[in-house]
Amino acid sequence: MTNVFVIGLGLIGGSFALDIRSVYEETEIYGVDTNDNHLAQALELGLIDKKARLEDVEKADIVIVAVPVNTSLKLLPEVLDLVRDDAVVFDAGSTKSLICEAVAGHPKRRNFLAAHPIAGTEFSGPSAALTGLYTNKVNIICEVEKTAFKLQEKALKLFTDIGMRIRYMDPASHDRHIAYVSHLSHISSFMLGKTVIEKEKNERDIFDMAGSGFESTVRLAKSSPAMWAPIFEQNKANVVETLEEYIANLQQFLDLVKKGEFEAIYSEMENTNRIKEILKGINVPTP
């Protein structure tokens, strides 16, 4: 019997629990969460078999840390303090540099695998968990060489068994790239939603005119601020850089509109259309 502990029973942790249960019959899944309602829901929904406390991870074979990244900085060293030498601990955070630094000097650093599954939805909490969320999704692994080989094998087998594709990257590169393809998308969605909400105060029928394009563009604005504010904080330097580039492009577009240079606008959009070919056949990240 393999003992799997899931710390944080929201979308990410809950979906791991469901997928693990679907491929491993001889598994006992324990849930740890500071929110008692989440624990109760996770039991009711069948995400976990038993409630547990943090101290109970001493009997874990696998520990999944699926909490906001600011919480992970303090929690991961505490988990490593408690686990057995043959247990593997991995996180699922959308930033990696500060998390890797937080465990760098820990005596059980070899037990930790830094991971970022590129999967998710805009919903949160245990009820958001989905079976198959990770199928054909990329899981970025950082500093794999710092994890004990047998523990690497244990975690990587789990990832491949639930259908994930593995990619290796250093933490700094991960944080720089993910700022463009994920963090900027969320900021853009939040700010578009904010702009429309502010306008709607004076024009109550504005949402009657909103079609599927608007809905898909602001979908990410429904994401949890408790998860995303710490991500922006931890990846501040890269977020600032990507925002400055994005704002520069918006300003250029505004200038073209003001000047009536619509042929140039057409050309800008036509050039950007090649994103269709770039994304063809690719699973676009939705952390």
pTM over 0.85: yes
pLDDT at 285: 47
Complete domains list, the chain, with CATH: 2-170 (3.40.50.720), 173-279 (1.10.3660.10)
| Residues 168, 173, 176, 180, CA torsion sign | negative
Residue 267: Cβ within 10 Å count: 12
pLDDT at 173: 98
Residue 29: CA count within 13 A, CB half-sphere: 27
CA-to-CA distance for 189 and 60, rounded, in angstroms?
Answer: 39
pLDDT at 199: 79
Q: Can you tell me the mean pLDDT for 108-128?
A: 95
Q: Which tokens in the block code for residue 141?
A: 């692994």
Above 80 in pLDDT, residue 273?
A: yes
Lowest mean pLDDT among 72-76, 115-119, 194-198: 194-198
More confident residue, 89 or 200: 89
pLDDT at 207: 67
- pLDDT above 90: percentage of residues in the chain: 84
Instruction: Count Cβ neighbours within 10 Å for each residue of 181-193 and write b for 16 or more, e otherwise.
Output: ebbbbbbbbbeeb
| Three-state secondary-structure class, residue 114 | strand
pLDDT at 42: 97
* Average pLDDT over all residues of the chain: 93
pLDDT at 277: 84
**pLDDT tens-digit series, residues 140-173:** 999 999 999 999 999 999 999 999 999 999 999 9
CA-nearest of 183, 4, 189, 184 to 96 is 183
Q: How confident is the model at residue 179 (pLDDT cuts 50, 70, 90)?
A: very high
Q: How confident is the model at residue 287 (pLDDT cuts 50, 70, 90)?
A: very low
CA-to-CA distance for 221 and 259, rounded, in angstroms?
Answer: 32
